[in-house]
């Protein structure tokens, strides 16, 4: 192909050929780059990627999202820079192709075909690709032999395609051009691609060009046979255009021509438009933290939560990394940079300015460097250090009224003097100079230290303004549904999980039972809500560090895991304290910085990933779990900062991963600044943080007071008052069963949780929702209807509570909504919900809230009566409320109790799972 398609292919709908079924193809993408967020790629149905540039995690994630990935394979020539160039015999290399610094391959030779098959094609399938995109099929025409005896080359290509089809009967095979291949070969491929139907690129002159009519007529003659012989197979048109804003119009024109379009730049690093279009909700977050650990950066700690609240997904990059050289406006809603060091970075700021000039908002926070290139980002031509005393005026309503009312007495750093903008605070110094340290402008926003936080003792921080409202304004008021992980069916999510630490500790009660025995008797069996419970293998196993108590511990673990309200988790083999130094092979020489060691003191053992993850899972599944149950979650230990390799191990084991973060806001401590994000991306992997921290941080690292965990109730209340920032999450260790005061605190916390209207979930269910929030693409069609493509479907989304309602008549799988904590939560159901919004409340009955997961929802109106069919899966007997109705009766389903409310009906059942309940309401 003119510009090698080494990237991803996305196809939305296809009708498969006779030998295997193909779904209808709507979108296809070709991507040669490596920097695009994985979410952005989920908008396509088929995706052609370059195998060396794709991680195993990315392939797996795309597959989970329903994207079929195809590996780019050049059949006709090999670049001199290709890693396999030297693998081909010299006699198998023919004419040079100087345009690509490559040589044409002699496919007539069996050894050449075997190298392609065995070293390119088969490894791609083994890596997880679901098909191949075969390029450069016409390269043989560059050779004298190809011009005089083309059939020999065509038959060789046909032989290779037959081999692929025989080895992989269900694989997707897409060819680029290949018009002259034998007809029986065309029948074995799934789609035909070609380039430059309306707009193209001249590689020799390096310029874009409109395709001449004569060229298009020639292409049409080649395509006519395909249209007539294979009307069920898609034709894929790949065009190149310089102006990205014109790509959508060109793609629509190509669709009207009867093609599946992909419109990009000639390097195929710009994401082509899709139908329906993808809503850009990723924000590129750049940070200059001196630490290499993302978790210690202000950008992650303090900017991510406001971004998540707005529905954005942060994509992180450190200033020490090479600057992205691919387009940004095709994939990001904006850029946020948080300067902590504020070092001069002229190159970075010029790069940011270039992207800001294209219309991409740039938000700058923290210690902005004094370099003019950086200051130009702020739209403030002048900066100066104000002379105290300072006076304040023109405040946005939240400034000095959010978490702190004490604005700085002195600045100590230069402040901006912008000429225009939406000023959140005006600072006037002794000389009468006016500064604006917090403001938004038409190119983004600025908030300069020390006007972000009031510092408190022991690293406490209090926001001086509402950062959620600030980022909302700076990024232009995003108007799309935000995935939510706090609420299910209109009620606050409740989870509970136990780390295995202290399982074998002796309780300070008569008889000195194991702490785990106390937890089982007093908590797990006393509170009938779902618990995710883990053990540390080295604590319970006879091969661990407590062999004398192993028999008792293992028997108790079996009893716990047999409980109906317990989900099984692993807390590793030896409880590593520092995951960054856990090697995959266990042979790494450990640095000397932890006097107390690196894990539990297992004799003659150095922590290694396979043993900690897969080994501990095998032990629990083989020795502790009852039939029908297995480990579902891996709970991180120690510093809870797993590496990409550790996260990959857990994902490959098929488990959810949770723990880490440090969310424990308190009225006398950091509040919003004490809330951590939902997740931490690590390469292409994703760590899910614990929603709220455990009793260890409430008891001064288990130094006392041991009743300290009761203060988590203040955390829960604060999180709700700040806008329901987290679910209600009970998280603690088994050692809480060893101290009467700690056990009393658990009862206080559980009694509070049980008194709240919640929907109870296992931790794995929460983790699924968190992963979906970070790993999905939001799509919006021309009519305004939203749907999601990704790893799972969201169960709840947030919309503007002042101006938006769900349009239930024109939505699918949307059961209703509820207003709570200043937000509007919309309930989604099924595998493919579609949401339409309205500025008016819905007519007819809708679900206000339920204590269970909604598995099905449909409604219709007939003769002024509403017919509703719904299903639920919960952990308690199902109860729910239907709004906008006064009377309902059961048409089909289990026994049901109705209680009339004001313009609503409360419904109670005796079952926890209801496959189908049909109601008639009026």
The DSSP annotation for 340-358 comes to SS----HHHHHHHHHHHHT
Residue 496 pLDDT class (50, 70, 90 cuts): very high
Give the integer Cα–Cα distance in Å for 274 and 251: 8
- Residue 292 pLDDT more than 80? no
Residue 595 confidence (pLDDT): 58
From the list 349, 364, 348, 345, the residue with the least C-alpha distance to 303 is 364
Residue 598 confidence (pLDDT): 84
In Å, the largest CA–CA distance within the chain is 96
Residue 255 pLDDT class (50, 70, 90 cuts): very high
Give the integer Cα–Cα distance in Å for 116 and 584: 32
- Residue 891 pLDDT more than 70? yes
Give the integer Cα–Cα distance in Å for 586 and 782: 54
At 524, give phi and psi (nearest 5°). -60, -40
Task: Give the residue-averaged pLDDT of 87-101.
Answer: 92
The DSSP annotation for 699-736 comes to TTTTTS-TTGGGGHHHHHHHHHHTT--S-EEEEEEGGG
Residue 468 confidence (pLDDT): 98
- Cβ–Cβ under 8 Å, residues 353 and 376: yes
Neighbours of 151 (CB within 10 A): 10
What angle (nearest 5°) sits at the alpha carbon of residue 63, between those of residues 59 and 68? 95
Residue 594 pLDDT class (50, 70, 90 cuts): low
Task: Give the residue-averaged pLDDT of 745-768.
Answer: 98
Taking only the tens place, the pLDDT of each residue in 603-642 is 989 899 999 999 999 999 999 999 999 999 999 999 999 9
Residue 205 confidence (pLDDT): 85
- Cβ–Cβ under 8 Å, residues 813 and 828: yes
Residue 593 confidence (pLDDT): 54
Residue 583 pLDDT class (50, 70, 90 cuts): confident
Residue 3 pLDDT class (50, 70, 90 cuts): very low
What end-to-end distance do the CA atoms of the chain give, in Å?
62
Give the integer Cα–Cα distance in Å for 117 and 202: 32
- Three-class HEC string of 622-675: HHCCCCCCCCCEEECCCCCCCCHHHHHHHHHCCCEEECCCCCCCCCCCCCHHHC
Give the integer Cα–Cα distance in Å for 60 and 38: 11
501 has which bridge partners? none
- Cβ–Cβ under 8 Å, residues 650 and 59: no
Residue 596 confidence (pLDDT): 61
Conformation bin of residue 700: beta by default, left when phi > 0, alpha when psi is -120 to 50: left
Higher pLDDT, 910 or 585: 910
Nearby residues of 652 by Cβ (< 8 Å), 6 or more positions away: none
Give the integer Cα–Cα distance in Å for 527 and 875: 12
In whole angstroms, what separates CA 236 from the centre of its chain?
Answer: 29
- Three-class HEC string of 122-154: HHHHHHCCCEEEEECCCHHHHCHHHHHCHHHHH
What angle (nearest 5°) sits at the alpha carbon of residue 799, between those of residues 793 and 804? 130
- Cβ–Cβ under 8 Å, residues 275 and 26: yes
The two tokens of residue 188 are 């074995």
Least confident piece of the model among 52-56, 99-103, 774-778: 99-103
Task: Give the residue-averaged pLDDT of 872-876.
Answer: 97
**Under DSSP, is residue 555 helix (H, G, I), strand (E, B) or coil?**
helix
Higher pLDDT, 315 or 320: 315
The two tokens of residue 68 are 């079929």
Least confident piece of the model among 335-339, 358-362, 367-371, 756-760: 367-371
Neighbours of 95 (CB within 10 A): 18
**Under DSSP, is residue 58 helix (H, G, I), strand (E, B) or coil?**
helix
Residue in the block written with tokens 């029986």: 184
Q: How many CA atoms lie within 13 A of 769 on its CB side?
A: 24
Q: Which DSSP category does 581 fall into? A: G
Query: Strands (DSSP E) along 296-452, which ranges?
Result: 313-318, 332-339, 362-366, 382-384, 391-393, 415-417, 422-423, 426-428, 434-435, 438-441, 444-448
Give the integer Cα–Cα distance in Å for 106 and 75: 10
Residue in the block written with tokens 């400034």: 399
- Residue 814 pLDDT more than 80? yes
Q: Rounded to 5, what percent of the chain is helix, strand, coil?
A: 25, 30, 45
Reported residue count of the chain is 922
- Residue 326 pLDDT more than 70? yes
- Cβ–Cβ under 8 Å, residues 894 and 909: yes
What angle (nearest 5°) sits at the alpha carbon of residue 587, between those of residues 52 and 320? 50
Conformation bin of residue 816: beta by default, left when phi > 0, alpha when psi is -120 to 50: left
Residue 408 pLDDT class (50, 70, 90 cuts): very high
Task: Give the residue-averaged pLDDT of 865-882.
Answer: 97
Taking only the tens place, the pLDDT of each residue in 207-251 is 999 999 999 999 999 999 899 999 999 999 999 999 999 999 999
CA of 297: how far to CAs of 286, 316, 377, 645, in Å? 10, 10, 22, 21
Give the integer Cα–Cα distance in Å for 249 and 609: 50
Task: Give the residue-averaged pLDDT of 554-572.
Answer: 98
264 has which bridge partners? 240
Give the integer Cα–Cα distance in Å for 167 and 161: 10
Residue 15 confidence (pLDDT): 31
- Cβ–Cβ under 8 Å, residues 576 and 611: no
- Cβ–Cβ under 8 Å, residues 265 and 240: yes
- Residue 682 pLDDT more than 60? yes
- Cβ–Cβ under 8 Å, residues 32 and 268: yes
CA of 233: how far to CAs of 84, 173, 216, 503, 621, in Å? 33, 12, 20, 60, 47
In whole angstroms, what separates CA 776 from the centre of its chain?
Answer: 6
Task: Give the residue-averaged pLDDT of 858-876.
Answer: 95
**Under DSSP, is residue 256 helix (H, G, I), strand (E, B) or coil?**
helix
Burial 493-530 (b: 16+ CB within 10 A, else e): bbbbbbbbbbbbbbbbbeeebbbbbbbbebbbeebebb
Residue in the block written with tokens 């994703």: 686
Mean pLDDT estimate for the chain: 94
Residue in the block written with tokens 């005006």: 426
Q: Which DSSP category does 279 fall into? A: E
Burial 20-31 (b: 16+ CB within 10 A, else e): eebeebbbbbbb
Residue 16 confidence (pLDDT): 34
In whole angstroms, what separates CA 210 from the centre of its chain?
Answer: 39
- Residue 591 pLDDT more than 70? no
Residue 345 confidence (pLDDT): 83
Burial 591-622 (b: 16+ CB within 10 A, else e): eeeeeeebbbebeebbbbbebbbbbbbebbee
Residue 280 confidence (pLDDT): 97
């Amino acid at each position: 192909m003119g510009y090698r398609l080494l990237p991803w292919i996305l196809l939305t709908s296809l009708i498969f050929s006779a030998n295997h079924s193909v779904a209808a193809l709507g979108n296809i993408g070709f991507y040669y780059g490596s920097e695009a967020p994985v979410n952005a790629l989920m908008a396509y149905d088929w995706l052609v990627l370059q195998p060396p540039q794709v991680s195993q995690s990315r392939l797996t994630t795309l597959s989970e999202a329903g994207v079929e990935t195809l590996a780019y394979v050049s059949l006709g020539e090999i670049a001199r820079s290709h890693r396999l160039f030297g693998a081909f015999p010299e006699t198998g290399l023919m004419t040079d192709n100087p345009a690509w610094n490559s040589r044409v391959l002699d496919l007539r030779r069996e050894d050449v075909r075997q190298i392609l098959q065995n070293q390119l094609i088969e490894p791609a399938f083994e890596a997880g690709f679901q098909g191949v995109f075969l390029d450069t099929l016409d390269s043989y025409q560059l050779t004298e032999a190809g011009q005089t005896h083309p059939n020999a080359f065509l038959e060789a290509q046909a032989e290779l395609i037959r081999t692929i089809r025989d080895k992989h009967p269900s694989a997707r095979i897409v060819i680029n051009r290949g018009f002259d291949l034998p007809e029986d070969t065309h029948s074995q491929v799934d789609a035909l691609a070609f380039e430059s139907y309306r707009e193209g690129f001249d590689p020799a002159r390096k310029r874009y060009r409109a395709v001449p009519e004569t060229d298009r007529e020639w292409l049409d003659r080649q395509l006519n046979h395909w249209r007539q012989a294979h009307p069920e197979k898609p034709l894929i048109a790949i065009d190149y255009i310089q102006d990205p804003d014109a790509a959508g119009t060109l793609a629509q024109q190509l669709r009207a021509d009867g093609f599946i379009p992909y419109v990009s730049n000639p390097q195929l690093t710009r994401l082509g438009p899709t139908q329906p279009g993808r809503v850009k909700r990723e924000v590129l977050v750049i940070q200059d933290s001196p630490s290499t650990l993302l978790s210690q950066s202000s950008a992650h700690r303090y900017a991510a939560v406001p971004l998540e609240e707005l529905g954005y997904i942060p994509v992180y990059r450190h200033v020490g990394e090479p600057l992205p050289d691919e387009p940004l406006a095709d994939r990001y809603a904006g850029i946020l940079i948080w300067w902590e060091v504020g070092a001069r970075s002229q190159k970075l700021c010029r790069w940011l300015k270039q992207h800001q000039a294209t219309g991409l908002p740039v938000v700058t926070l923290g210690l902005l460097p004094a370099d003019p290139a950086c200051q130009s980002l702020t739209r403030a031509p002048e900066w100066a250090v104000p002379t105290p005393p300072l006076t304040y005026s023109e405040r946005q309503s939240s400034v000095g009224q959010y978490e702190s009312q004490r604005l700085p007495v002195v600045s100590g750093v230069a402040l901006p003097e912008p000429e225009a903008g939406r000023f959140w605070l005006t600072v006037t110094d002794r000389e009468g100079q006016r500064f604006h340290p917090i403001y938004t402008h038409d190119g983004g926003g600025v908030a300069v230290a020390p006007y972000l936080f009031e510092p408190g003792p022991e690293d406490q921080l209090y926001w001086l303004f509402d950062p959620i409202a600030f980022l909302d304004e700076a990024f232009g008021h995003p108007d799309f549904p935000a995935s939510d992980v706090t609420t299910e069916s209109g009620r606050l999510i409740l989870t509970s999980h136990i780390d295995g630490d202290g399982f074998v500790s002796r309780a300070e009660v008569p008889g000195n039972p194991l702490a785990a025995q106390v937890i089982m008797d007093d908590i797990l069996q006393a509170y009938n809500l779902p618990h995710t419970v883990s053990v540390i293998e080295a604590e319970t196993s006879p091969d661990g560090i407590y062999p004398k108590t192993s028999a008792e511990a293992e028997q108790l673990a079996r009893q716990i895991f047999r409980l109906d309200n317990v989900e099984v988790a692993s807390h590793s083999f030896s409880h590593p304290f520092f995951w960054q130094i856990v090697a995959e092979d266990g042979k790494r020489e450990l640095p000397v910085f932890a006097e107390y060691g690196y894990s539990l003191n297992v004799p003659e053992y150095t922590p290694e990933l396979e043993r900690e993850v897969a080994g501990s899972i095998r032990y629990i599944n083989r020795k502790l779990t009852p039939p029908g149950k297995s480990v579902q979650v891996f709970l991180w230990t120690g510093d809870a900062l797993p590496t990409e390799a550790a996260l990959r191990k857990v994902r490959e084991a098929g488990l959810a991963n949770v723990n880490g973060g440090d969310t424990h806001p308190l009225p006398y401590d950091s509040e919003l600044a004490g809330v951590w994000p939902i997740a931490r991306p690590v390469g292409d992997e994703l760590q899910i943080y614990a929603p709220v921290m455990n009793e260890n941080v409430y008891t001064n690292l288990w130094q006392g007071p041991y009743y300290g965990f009761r203060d988590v109730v203040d955390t829960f209340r604060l999180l709700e008052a700040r806008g329901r920032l987290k679910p209600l999450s009970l998280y603690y260790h088994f050692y809480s069963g060893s101290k009467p005061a700690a056990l009393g605190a658990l009862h206080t916390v559980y009694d509070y949780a049980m008194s709240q209207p919640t929907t109870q979930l296992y931790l794995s269910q929460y983790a699924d929702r968190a992963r979906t929030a970070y790993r999905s693409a939001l799509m919006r069609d021309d009519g305004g209807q939203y749907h999601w493509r990704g790893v799972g479907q969201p169960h709840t989304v947030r919309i503007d509570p002042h101006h938006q309602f769900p349009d239930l008549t024109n939505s699918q799988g949307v059961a209703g909504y509820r207003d709570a904590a200043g937000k509007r939560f919309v309930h989604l159901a099924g595998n493919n919900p579609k949401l339409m919004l309205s500025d008016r409340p819905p007519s007819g009955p809708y679900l206000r809230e339920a204590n269970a997961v909604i598995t099905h929802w449909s409604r219709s109106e007939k003769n002024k009566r509403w017919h509703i069919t719904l299903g639920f899966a919960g952990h308690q007997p199902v109860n729910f409320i239907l709004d906008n109705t006064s009377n309902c009766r059961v048409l089909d389903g289990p026994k049901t109790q109705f209680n009339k409310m004001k313009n609503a009906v409360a419904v109670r059942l005796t079952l926890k799972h209801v496959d189908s309940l049909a109601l008639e309401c009026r």
